[in-house]
Amino acid sequence: MPEAKRNITYFEERVLRCVHHEFSAMTQEEAACALNVSPMTISRALADMEERAKTCKAIGIMFPILTKHQFAVFNCVVGRGLSAKETAEELDLASASTVNTIVATLRQKGMNIPRQKDMPKPVTYTPSMDKDVKEKY
């Protein structure tokens, strides 16, 4: 049986594993040191893959690549439904404004992040709700 055609080279795969937020999440400089190449080589490899991602779905799912902070904010806001203030407290960031700036950057990168008003409201309990409960036996 013939070997399946690769969409990226082995080197590009190593670059992705270094810089992608779901793997090592290194900066381009850290990846360059780890792979013993120049930062420009890393940048060029990512640019080449990003260009090919426009026409190749298999590569496209790897983009955009987020920083560690961006990925952490994305997980808090989208994955857990936290507000900007709660996310800032959770991640020890300066303020909710910082979170909002990161969310805006994520949207510019093409990430689908719903607006806070579009997020489902969490179900909460307050003692005042007890008067509305009717029991049937």
The residue that leads in pLDDT, 51 or 4, is: 51
pLDDT tens-digit series, residues 30-81:
999 999 999 999 999 999 998 988 888 888 888 888 888 889 999 888 888 8
% of residues, the chain, pLDDT over 70: 88
Using pLDDT thresholds of 50, 70 and 90, give the confidence band for residue 113: confident
Domain extents for the chain?
Answer: 10-60, 68-112
Which of 3.30.70, 1.10.3210, 1.20.120, 1.10.10 would CATH assign to domain 68-112?
1.10.10
Contacts of 29 (CB under 8 A, 6+ apart): 39
Distances (CA, A) of 98 to 85, 89, 102, 105: 9, 11, 6, 11
In the numeric block, the tokens 């008003």 are attached to 117
pLDDT of residue 117: 61
Distance CA 75, CA 54 (A): 25
Task: Look over the chain and give the mean of its residue pLDDT values, rounded to a whole number.
Answer: 84
